[in-house]
Chains A and B, each alone.
Chain A
């Protein structure tokens, strides 16, 4: 079945710097890749997603890139702000997972003022 690896597990940046979180997946048939932000005591919130027919998608300070050949995708946050501090999860679906999302273990991002 699908397996999703996420790195790093923790990431600390200065306010204004960029942050990059990377995920790899194992099932080449996967075709949908969402990213979620989870704040303490809350449920995950979808922040951006990408499908396998595109290589990059941007939404203001957030972008996601997808490399199908290498089976990895990345979240890029530019001009980080303290309110970006949270746990970020990547996920993949399609192929053998019956369309269910398989999640990475999360990255705790800390943005220092």
Chain B
């Protein structure tokens, strides 16, 4: 079955530590996205990528970094500069960027130890 796989499902970060969240898709989609979801909030865009080796900042990129070395993969690193990283992180992909349905993974919940 085609889809988006996020791992791990739960992740714990120590103070001062960088952690990387994995996102893999086998839908052959060009565009990929990372969102942050906090309780009672909508989804806020962290980073997005329209094509391999290219990505752009979203609305809340500070304290995060990404790479897009392969079409299938779009890992997100939560750096120590992100002072409030506890949230539910969602990865999505779409055929193209503009005005297309996005398909989501089942998320990674990040907590601070």
Contacts and interface: CB of A to CB of B under 8 A. Distances in A.
B98 A93 contact: yes
Interface string B47-60: 01000000000100
Given A43-B106, A100-B58, A93 B99 contact: yes
Contacts of A93: 98-99
A100 B97 contact: yes
B43 A89 contact: yes
B97 A105 contact: no
Interface stretch (A14-22, A44-52, A64-72, A75-83): A44-52
Interface residues of A, number: 26
Contacts, number: 61
B26 to A, nearest CB: 16
A43 B41 CA distance: 14
| Chain B interface helix/strand/loop/mixed | loop
Contacts of B40: 9, 105-106
B98 A94 contact: yes
B106 A100 contact: no
A46 B99 contact: no
B101 A105 contact: no
B103 A103 contact: no
A42 interface: yes
A105 B42 contact: yes
Nearest to B56: A98
Contacts of B43: 44, 89, 101, 103
A43 B97 contact: no
Interface in B1-18: 4, 6
B106 A31 contact: no
A104 B6 CA distance: 23
B42 A43 contact: no
Interface of B: 4, 6, 33, 40-45, 48, 58, 90, 92, 96-107
Given A34-B102, A44-B43, 15 more contacts: A32-B99, A36-B104, A42-B106, A42-B107, A43-B6, A45-B104, A46-B101, A89-B42, A94-B98, A98-B97, A98-B98, A99-B96, A100-B33, A100-B45, A105-B42
